[in-house]
Structures are given as C-alpha cells and as structure tokens.
Chain A
Amino acid sequence: MTETSTQTRSVVVEREIAHAPEKIWRALTQPHLMAEWLMKTNFEPTAGQRFDFTADWGSVACQVLAIEPHTTLSYKWDAMGLESVVTWTLTPSAKGTHLRMEQAGFRPDQQQAYQGAQYGWPKFFDGMEQLLARVD
C-alpha cells in the first residue's frame, strides 16, 4: 500500500506477518539481522543514537528518534540531501503481527531540516508538478 500526497510525500508499506512481534523486533534492531534484509549498519537501540546504513550505492545517515521495544521504532533517514523519518509500528494480530512502515519527508513543518534550503522542497515539488502538468 502506498499513500502519496504533495504535502507530506510519505510512503507507507503494511503487511500481516506470520511471526511474533518479538521476533520481528530482533530483525528490526539487531545489526547482523538488519544486514540480511535491509542494509549493513552500526545501529544501536538507544534514542538519540546516530548510525548509518551502507550499501553499494551509498549510505544513509540515521538517528534513532523513538524506540519502544516490540512496538515502535523510528529513525531519521537522511540520504541524497533529503531528510525523512522512517517509523516502524508493530501491532500483534491474529496471524502474528501487523507490521507498518512509514517513510515521511518533505513536510512543510520540517523545512528547517533541509539545511541551506531557504525555499523548501515541498513548495518546489508542488511548483514542479504543476509545471509538468502544464508541459505535458
């Protein structure tokens, strides 16, 4: 599932997973497991902690924003000059766990995060989308 909006530009992926939240939590927070499905990382499960994901195409600078064992994990995800926030939510379900990932960025209220950008990406994207609609 994907939700898009010019205001927030968030990506949401949700899935019912036939495993317990505790087990999924390990895969989300233990670096040797994270490396197997996401990317190599020096993640540490402490709020405020900075860490990186690295892949052959580059790296992602991150910082733990919130961590609630087996329930919620969110971190800043800064790649290619754009800051976003990735939030994982685990909810126990009949099948196992409802796992939700939201990557949100470009919010008008996050403009301060775009260092050096006085103009703000949201306005830019909105303008460009209007422009492209006219061009086509």
Chain B
Amino acid sequence: MPNAQDLLFKTLADPTRRTIFERLCREGELTVGGLTAQAGVSQPAVSKHLGVLKQAGLVQDRQEGRQTHYSARPGALSPLLDWTRQMAGFWENRFDDLEDLLKRMDQ
C-alpha cells in the first residue's frame, strides 16, 4: 500500500488536525491566529499541526508581511478517496494468487 495514503491517514487521524483542515477547506485562507481562535488549543499546538498538514501536502502557506496565511489543498486527499478502488484491486490480486495456490495444493 502506498506511503502517500499511509501518511494521509495518519495525518488526518488526529481530530484537532482534521478540524483545522476542515476549517481551511470551508473558510479559505486563514492565519495561525485566526485558526487558534476556535481550535481550543494553543497557538504553538496549531502551528505544529499545520506543519504536519503541510508535510502531508494538505495545506500550503503564503507569507504576507509578518503573517503566514494557510490554505487547504483538498486535491491532496484523492489517494484517500481512492481507498475503495485500491482495496478492490488488492483483493482481486489476492484472489488470483489464491487460485494459483489452490491449483498447486493437494486435494
């Protein structure tokens, strides 16, 4: 299974991080301060979450003066949304290998 998907799952498994990402998706560009106001966690914690989200490609940042503006990159989610299709492919291949094995096995 691809690492990109693994990273996305891990990144979004944290509810605070997911909430931050969702707010950026809904509200567009926000600063750390703007995000902290409703996050229920400290500003350093929000910054840390944003760093993790950025590493996963889920957010991008833009410097404007002394402020950093963050926005969502929802397109980065596509490997996750492909989960069902990918698992179906995984199991189809396993079925092929199972049939090969059954041919080799004794009755």
Contacts and interface: CB of A to CB of B under 8 A. Distances in A.
B16 to A, nearest CB: 9
User: How big is the B interface, by class?
Assistant: 35 or more
A20 B12 CA distance: 43
B88 A80 contact: no
| Interface size range of chain A in the complex | 35 or more
Nearest to A135: B74
Contacts of A20: 107
A8 B77 CA distance: 19
Contacts of B87: 11, 103
A75 to B, nearest CB: 14
Contact of B88 (A13, A26, A36, A131): A13
B101 A36 contact: yes
Interface of B: 1, 3, 5-6, 9-10, 12-15, 18-19, 22, 25, 74-75, 77-78, 80-81, 83-85, 87-88, 91-92, 94-95, 97-102, 105, 107
